[in-house]
Amino acid sequence: MALIAIIVLVVVLSKNVVYFRTVSEAVAERPSDGDRRIRLAGEVVPGSVTETRNGVRFDVTDGKKTVEVVHRGDPPNLFKAGAPVVCEGRWDRGARFDSDRILIKHGSEYEPPDVDSERASAGRVAA
């Protein structure tokens, strides 16, 4: 009984782990990641942002590799060219990244003023 519970727990946990990858890491791990959800971290390439019917399309880069991201939904307020972003989603069949959630990395001048603000910034920026 307890054993079954632990097995279920481990399986469900491992299925729902979302790895955090820089653009280069993500490109390198793409074959093994398949259609698993990951978080892709990089900088928005200036001049690459275009509006689509239901969201935005832009490139993110870490200086070494660049990936095209198609995001569903409006980007958060802080989203702009050059902004450090974390996109959550999965690879589509081509080499594009389908994102449905964008987190904006806070600048280093920002300190955690309180639990609740930390909670707020923990990923509610986009739905």
Partner 1 sequence: MKASLGVLALALGTSATVLGVGTLALGLYRRDERLLRAGRRYVFLVLAAAVLAVGVMEWALLSHDFSIEYVAENNARATPLLFTITGLWAALEGSILLWGLILGGYLAVMAYKFRDRATDPLVAWATLTGLVVALFFFGLMLGPANPFKTLGTAPLDGRGPNPLLQNHPLMAFHPPMLYLGYVGFTVPFSFAIASLVTGRFGEGWLADTRRATLVAWGFLTTGIILGAWWSYEVLGWGGYWAWDPVENASLLPWLTATAFIHSVIVQERRGMLRVWNLSLVIATFCLTILGTFLTRSGVLNSVHSFTESTIGPVLLGFLGFVAAVGIGLIAWRGDRLRAPGRIDSPVSRESAFLANNLLFAGLAFVVLLGTVYPLLAEAIQGRELSVGEPYFDRMTTPIGIALLFLMAAAPALPWRATSGEVLRRRLLVPAWAGALAMLVAVALGARELAQVLTFGLAAFAVGGIVRQFWLGQRSLGLVRAVRGNPRLYGGLVVHVGVVLVALAIASSSVYTTRREVRLTRGQSAEVRGYEVTYLGSRTERGDQKTTVSARIRVERGGDDLGTYAPAISTFPGTPQGIGTPSVRTGLREDVYLTLISSPNRQGRVTIGVAVNPMILWLWVGGGVMAIGTLLALTPGSRRPRIARPAPAAVEEPVEPVGAPV
**Interacting residues with partner 1 (CB under 8 A):** 5, 8-9, 12-13, 15-20, 37, 39, 41, 73-74, 77-78, 86, 103, 105-108, 110-124, 127
What is the separation of C-alpha 24 from the centre of its chain, rounded to a whole number of angstroms?
14
CB of 86 to partner 1, least distance (A): 5
User: Residue 96 is encoded by which pair of tokens?
Assistant: 């594009």
Question: In what helix (H) or strand (E) does residue 28 lie, and over which residues does it extend?
Answer: helix 23-33
What's the min distance (Å) between Cβ of 47 and partner 1?
18
Question: Min. distance of Cβ 84 from partner 1 in angstroms?
Answer: 9
Are residues 43 and 60 in contact, defined by beta-carbon separation less than 8 angstroms? yes
For partner 1, the closer of residues 55 and 67 by Cβ is 55
Rg (CA), the chain: 16
